[in-house]
Amino acid sequence: MTERLHSVQLYTLRNAIETDLPGTLARVAAMGFENVELWRFEQYRDAYRRALTETPLRPLSAHASLVDGNASAAVRMAAELGIGTLIEPHIIARRWTTRADIEAAAASLNGVARLARDAGITIGYHNHDHEVRQDFDGRTGLEVFAEALDEDVVLELDTFWAEVGGASAVELISRLGARVRFLHLKDGPYTTTLLEQLPVGQGSMPVADILKAAPDAVRVVELDDYAGDPFDAVRQSLRHLVEVDR
């Protein structure tokens, strides 16, 4: 059976990261995680470097503004921290309204990918809901985007936001294929109200079907917000993933 890799996007624990980064990573490791997806690694580079040496956690991936930010600096710092995949977390909605706009956005990310290759870093993209809301001859904007990407650029499919946008995450995974290397997993009702988000397995998401559709993708727990203790949400999410992801 394929080894299941579990990770957590540290944006979920951002308040704790800002007050006690080493302690937060220690708590994440104690939950049973072996991997993390770094948040604001450029700002907290030195703190991450020290804390990662004190835990078994591996920084498989990280988010950084690549298309509109300083991609060269992000790639350099990612290489220093041993980050394997650097992911653009958001390209604004107005750049997804026409096919030409989408293809231009893909070209920008391809340029970053070429820059990152020499550093041994893979580049990826993370979606929200706006990338799947508009129809382009039976395909979502995210699919048009994927077709315009270089072969080695990957996708981190935020399964919840895909469903909120009206797409089936399972069907998207099937159509996007092996380019989907990471899954963002959270739960809740299909609403844009962030505080209504829930731990994985406690809402409307077809979690088991999603996991079966992407057996090789890294499972990344990520909540944009949560009404309770985010550490509890992360812990409960991991427990559910381990139970159903067999």
Say if residue 3's pLDDT is above 90: no
Residues with Cβ within 8 Å of residue 110, at least 6 apart in sequence: 148, 149, 150, 153
CATH architecture of the domain covering 6-244: Alpha-Beta Barrel (3.20)
Confidence band, pLDDT 50/70/90 cuts, at residue 46 = very high
Residue 2 pLDDT level (bands cut at 50, 70, 90): low
Q: How far apart are CA 150 and CA 242, in angstroms?
A: 33
Which pLDDT tens digit goes with each residue over 164-188? 999 999 999 999 999 999 999 999 9
Give the span between the Cα atoms of 21 and 56, in whole angstroms.
15
Supply 68's token pair: 């509109």
How confident is residue 146, by pLDDT bands cut at 50, 70 and 90?
A: very high
Quick: pLDDT tens for 97-122. 999 999 999 999 999 999 999 999 99
The encoded tokens of residue 242 equal 């381990």
Q: Where are the domains of the chain?
A: 6-244
Q: What is the pLDDT of residue 234?
A: 99
What does the DSSP assignment read for 57-111? Answer: -EEEEEE---SSS-HHHHHHHHHHHT-SEEEE----GGGGSSHHHHHHHHHHHHH
Tell me the per-residue pLDDT of 190-212, one tens digit each, with 9 for 90 and over: 999 999 999 999 999 999 999 99
